[in-house]
Structure formats: structure tokens, C-alpha cells
Amino acid sequence: GQQLNQSPQSMFIQEGEDVSMNCTSSSIFNTWLWYKQDPGEGPVLLIALYKAGELTSNGRLTAQFGITRKDSFLNISASIPSDVGIYFCAGQGNDMRFGAGTRLTVKP
């Protein structure tokens, strides 16, 4: 099945910098989700978006559901070392599709 196009694949940033990543699809989704995965653990839900155009925040994280319903972005402000990990987007319609992940490295 067609997975989502997530970019960038990896990011190396300095502590305190802002981060932006996005996902695009050729299909429309009813729900966009963002997960974070730490080594040796399963993905943990960060933010869920349910309406086109919706902008939702969770602490330093902000995500938006694209107006076309085919894309979403995630921003992390003022990054800290514990933000290190792999971030996945997921689009949920009749089934669920995942991006390949963005690996984030934060240098102190």
C-alpha cells in the first residue's frame, strides 16, 4: 500500500532551535496523527487532528491538518535533548497509513 511522504528523513539541530516536519499524501484522510518513538519502545501518540484546517498544540508541539486533507505538519519549538527520537505521521481514513519517520537529533 502507498505510505505517506514524510520529510525530512532526518534532522540534526542545536538545542533551543525550532523544528518543522511534514507529511503529504495523494489520498484524503479524515484524521491526521503524529507519534513519537523512542529506541526500544512503541510509537506514542503526540497529537491527533480531526478537522481540515485544525491547528492543535500540545506544549511545545503544534500540528496542523492541511486544508486539502492531504497533508499535515508538526512543529517543535525550543527543542530540548529529550525531543530526540523518530517522529511519525499517520493518516487515518478507511485504513491507516504511516510516514517513514523523521529521525531527530538534538545537540546540547
| E strands, 19-99, in order | 19-24, 31-37, 44-49, 55-58, 61-65, 71-76, 85-92, 96-98
How far is 20 from 8, CA to CA, in rounded Å?
A: 9
Q: Which is nearer to another protein, 13 or 86 (CB)?
A: 86
Q: Which is nearer to another protein, 4 or 76 (CB)?
A: 4
Q: To the nearest whole angstrom, how small is the minimum distance from the Cβ of residue 16 to another protein?
A: 29
Q: Which is nearer to another protein, 14 or 94 (CB)?
A: 94
C-alpha cell at 67: 486544508
Residue ranges binding another protein (CB under 8 A): 1, 3, 30-31, 33, 35, 40-45, 48, 50, 88, 90, 92, 95-96, 98-101
